[in-house]
Amino acid sequence: MANVFYIFSNGQFLGEELVYKVDQECSVRYFDYSKYSNRYIATLYLILRIILFFITGLSSKKIIHIHYPTRIIYKLIPLFSLFSNKLLITYWGSDFYKNKDLVNHFFSSINNHVDVITFTNENTSSEFVRLFEYVGKIKITRFGLSPIDYIDTYESEKVQSQVIKDIISKRKTKKSVMVGTNVSHNQQLEKLIPIINNYRNREKFFFVFCFNYGDLKLANKMKNDIGDDIDCIIIEEKLSGYDLAGLRSNTDILIQVQITDQLSGAMQETLYAGGRVVTGSWLPYSVLLDRGVHLYLVDKVDTEITNILDSMGTNNIYLQQNKSGISNLSSWNSCLDMWLDLYNG
């Protein structure tokens, strides 16, 4: 059995999901850098745990797997290589795109010490190879979407959140439109809210804004920008389990026009639950389109979006093909073997 030591620097929820799934097949330990306020103490503690990991246990197969690397993690790569039989890095997306200069600075160390680099999608992998002319071993490893399991067994009676109950109630008379999936400049809410304020046929819908994740200062500004006559619900509490499944299952339409994205989990969950998605043609979603998932594409953030709302029929004729496409791509049943192959290969 492989012994795997995970190092996470961000997004610990996804990390914990992965640890839980892999732990059923491998011996797993992990270190979450984001939980420590003092990086120096955290670094010393991490080094100590790595040494103990290497010298304890019966298995000779000791694997260190870095997720979402930061500058200090890059500096420690030679040490990690010394205390492991196999060293892996997984890029989630923004940790590569926003830090290309950092990757370039430490590329020699990556190239010399890392055995396998993995990416969550083919587009990021291709960009990495193109920029750095990398000829080492690359694999695709996707995170499964755990909310899919809750969506499969969702019943409205299982919902505890009052705001989700309000959405369920309001949806009896109007269709729900979720505007973005969190509050950040990347979601382009500054452009979307004026479009909705000026939308003449908005009385057919009520609008849902998820202000429970992201930039709280921006959230306050966006709340003030929403017109007083807009029928809307603002979500400010964090959701999980059946409450999150309730949100996905009661979203008729999602407007998701981020500036950049890899493969939005919230978007996939909405599609799986039966919702329809209006999204940007500039986003790298060919992996969905190739699997028969239907998206309503716009070329820019303007009234093209509301024109699509007006033209949508009552029934979602793409429901089954969307659900099948998302399941084949992003359920843990489909994704877990990608990770296990890294450790057992």
Task: Give the chain as a 3 state SS string.
Answer: CCEEEEEECCCHHHHHHHHHHHCCCCEEEEEEHHHCCCHHHHHHHHHHHHHHHHHCCCCCCEEEEEECCCHHHHHCHHHHHHCCCEEEEEECCHHHHCCHHHHHHCHHHHHHHCCEEEECCHHHHHHHHHHHCCCCEEEECCCCCCHHHHHHCCCHHHCCCHHHHHHHHHCCCCEEEEECCCECHHHCHHHHHHHHHCCCCHHHEEEEEECCCECHHHHHHHHHHCCCCCCEEEECCCCCHHHHHHHHHCCCEEEECCCCCCCCHHHHHHHHHCCEEEEECCCCCHHHHCCCCCCEEECCCCCHHHHHHHHCCCCCCCHHHHHHHHHHHHCHHHHHHHHHHHHHC
Q: Give tens-digit pLDDT for 2-39.
A: 899 999 987 566 788 899 999 988 999 999 988 888 98
pTM, two decimals, is: 0.84
Determine the pLDDT at residue 33.
86
CATH code for 3-141? 3.40.50.2000
Q: Grade residue 61 by pLDDT with cuts at 50, 70 and 90.
A: confident
Average pLDDT over residues 180-193: 97
Encode pLDDT of 139-177 as tens digits.
999 999 999 999 999 999 999 999 999 999 999 999 999
Average pLDDT of 175-182?
A: 98
Q: Is the pLDDT of residue 59 over 70?
A: no
Q: Does domain 146-330 have CATH number 3.30.420.40?
A: no
Give mean pLDDT, residues 38-63.
89
Q: Give yes or no for residue 188 having a pLDDT over 90.
A: yes
When pLDDT is averaged across residues 191-211 and rounded to a whole number, the result is: 98
Q: What is the mean pLDDT of the chain?
A: 94
Residue spans of the domains in the chain: they are: 3-141, 146-330
pLDDT at 263: 87
Does 344 or 89 have the greater pLDDT score? Answer: 89
